[in-house]
Structure 1
Amino acid sequence: MSRALFAKTRRIALVVASASVLALTGAVTAAAAPTATDDPVRTTGEVNKSLNFSCEFPLVGQRSVTAQITATFPDSVPAGTPIDVTGFNVAVEIDAEITDAMRLVGAATVEGTAAPNVDVDINGTPLGVRLNGMRIPSTPVPESGSMTVNIVGEVPSLTVQSAGQVSFAVGDEFSGRVTPRRADGSETSLGTFDLPCTMDAGQDPSLATVTVS
């Protein structure tokens, strides 16, 4: 082979080799590029909201209660990643007249279940969600004065597949089933009663808005 032909052949081989390396490098870079699911979930922190509700109690009729809602929402999540709401708690303050009525029937504790409503808006589409299965843990009835009962439980995750905004707000109603018990654990003459509650008008029920990217 002549020297000129050898040099030309060598140059062609180098070009082909260089092109192959560049192609391989491009393929690896593309494979390593982050996808939307690699984005972190950023937590906005604990949200606290105080709202007034009117509830229909046995013996005393309609009474006003204050509900302190606490929950932690993510600030943003990638599309297709569950939106997890954690630390959910509703502390309901019950006035002295209601606790007086509980003591009147011999109640030493109250317990039960609750179903708060949550309004969810997904990219402009409103949805009403009822959180069934929430618990009211057994709470002592004080000898005098008001008392606070808590509504606790797990909030189901919500997964949104497209980018946008998801807003959460307290629904305008919640219901409970409450059982007062005597010191020996037996039920009082009230048995288990329904407790329907409606949010008082003129309040801001918004909790958080989560960005889906």
Structure 2
Amino acid sequence: MARTKRGPAATSRRALAGLGTVGIVAGTIAITAGLSAPAANAATSKALQYTCTANVFGNVLDQGVWTATVTSNLPTQVAPGATLPAPTITAQVTSSTTATDTLRALSETAVDGTSDAGYSVSGAVASPGARTAHLTIPNTPVPTTGALQTAATGDGAAEVAASSTGTITVKVGDFKATIQTYKGTTKDLVIPVTCTLKAGQNTTLGTIAVGTPPTSPSSSPTSTPTDTGTPTSTATGTGTATSTATGTATSTGVTGPPIITDGGSSGSGLNGGVLGGAAVAAAGVGALGFGLRRRLSNK
């Protein structure tokens, strides 16, 4: 047999088919990777209020109410026994005007420093308890008016999920800071600051599901309609026909091609009536034919 020469169109189709196969395989790999990989991290934030004090020249001074917005990249779901990497934590802290007035009164022009931010981990975790995130405060100018705002960043601690399913809860705690002040570019004072959460706040930063999250049960019908009767017909030799819906359609004394029914019955009154009427009609035709044959045979 002579070989058929494939033109450019055939070659293009083969190339597209090959690319389609590669795409299917790559898609399968991507789906598998998505199922086996832990759920993506979700940035969660919590704005909280603190009552703060500062130790200035050995004197503990009230620094009013500070606000800290704590943000972290917590995973939404992990497998039982999985290792959770150390979360990155950012704290946007706005001091009170009183605290900033203290810095301005001391002729401080900028600050930086470090902060130990407390938080807790409880629930489905191998080692629940208190944690500390070590944050760094970048060099920040002291404003001429208003409150000082700083953005501290750092990492928390890595965790190991429990071997059973459940929920890990992460809550924000108190924090301490060591503030280095500057006059121009020269370091000046080191001011320890202690901030305590005001009572009555929801301090939950986020929750992590351990294991497969519960799914709502699929709805199923509470009852299944049943059809307990299909029409039957009986033809008598006198040309009368009776019909009752009691089961499988049968015919006695009637010859001829079988009656073929097509489709199902839902058991409703309408379908039952239609099938019953069809059975009566079929029985009547059978009876009529039977009677005609008897008269012809008697002649």
> Does TM, scored on the shorter chain, surpass 0.5?
yes
- Of 120, 127, 135 in structure 1, the residue corresponding to residue 129 of structure 2 is 127
CA offset at residue 149 of structure 1?
1.0
Could you state the TM-score of these two structures normalised by the residue count of structure 1?
0.73
Q: Which has the larger radius of gyration?
A: 2
Task: Please list, as runs of the form range in 1=range in 2, the aligned pairs for 1:28-47 lying within 5 A after superposition.
Answer: 39-43=36-40, 45-47=42-44
Find the residue that maps to 2:40 and give its secondary structure: strand
Counterpart residue number, 1:200: 198
How many Å separate the matches in 1 of 2:169 and 2:86? 12
More strand by share: 1
1:18 aligns with none
Alpha-carbon distance in 1 for matches of 2:65, 2:96: 8
Match of 1:147 in 2: 148
Alignment-derived partner of residue 97 in structure 1: 98
One-letter code of the match for 1:45?
A
Match in the other structure for 2:158:
157
What's 2:5 paired with?
none
Letter in 2 for 1:165: T
TM superposition score normalised by structure 2: 0.53
**Could you tell me which residue of structure 2 aligns to residue 3 of structure 1?**
none
- 38, 48, 70: which one aligns with 2:45: 48
Within a 5 Å distance, the mapping from 1:162-181 to structure 2 comes to 162-163=163-164, 164-171=166-173, 173-181=174-182
Using a 3 Å threshold, how does the CA distance of structure 1 residues 44 and 154 change in structure 2: closer, same or farther?
closer
**Amino acid across the alignment from 2:147:** S
Aligned length: 171
SS of 1:186's partner is strand
Shift of 1:126: 4.3
1:73–1:85 CA contact under 8 A, matched in 2:
no
Query: Is the Cα–Cα contact under 8 Å of residues 175 and 195 in structure 2 kept in the other structure?
Result: yes
Q: How far apart in 1 are the matches of 2:124 and 2:84? A: 14
Q: Is the 8 A contact 1:74 1:84 kept in 2?
A: no
* 2:131/2:157 contact within 8 Å kept: no
Tell me by how many angstroms 1:165 deviates: 1.9
Could you tell me how far apart the structure 1 residues matched to 2:124 and 2:136 are?
31
CA contact under 8 A between 1:57 and 1:63: conserved in structure 2? no
Unaligned runs of 5+ in 2: 1-34, 212-299
**Alignment-mate amino acid for residue 209 of structure 2:** T
1:60-95 superposed Cα distances (whole Å, 9 cap, x missing partner): 524100111111211111233322354421111113
Q: How far does the alpha carbon of each residue in 1:30-72 deviate from its partner, in whole angstroms, 9 at most, with x for none?
A: xxxxxxxx73211352111110000002565241001111112
Local SS of the residue matching 2:187:
coil
- Taking a change above 3 Å as real, the CA distance of residues 114 and 62 of structure 1, as seen in their structure-2 partners, is same
8 Å CA contact retained: 1:68, 1:92: yes
The answer to whether the 8 Å contact 1:74/1:210 transfers is: yes
Over aligned residue pairs, what C-alpha RMSD do you find?
2.0
Q: In the TM superposition, what is the alpha-carbon distance from 1:161 to its structure 2 partner?
A: 4.7
Which whole-Å CA distance do the structure 1 matches of 2:207 and 2:201 have between them?
18
- 3-state SS of the aligned residue for 1:153? strand
- C-alpha contact 2:113 2:179 (8 A) present in aligned 1: yes
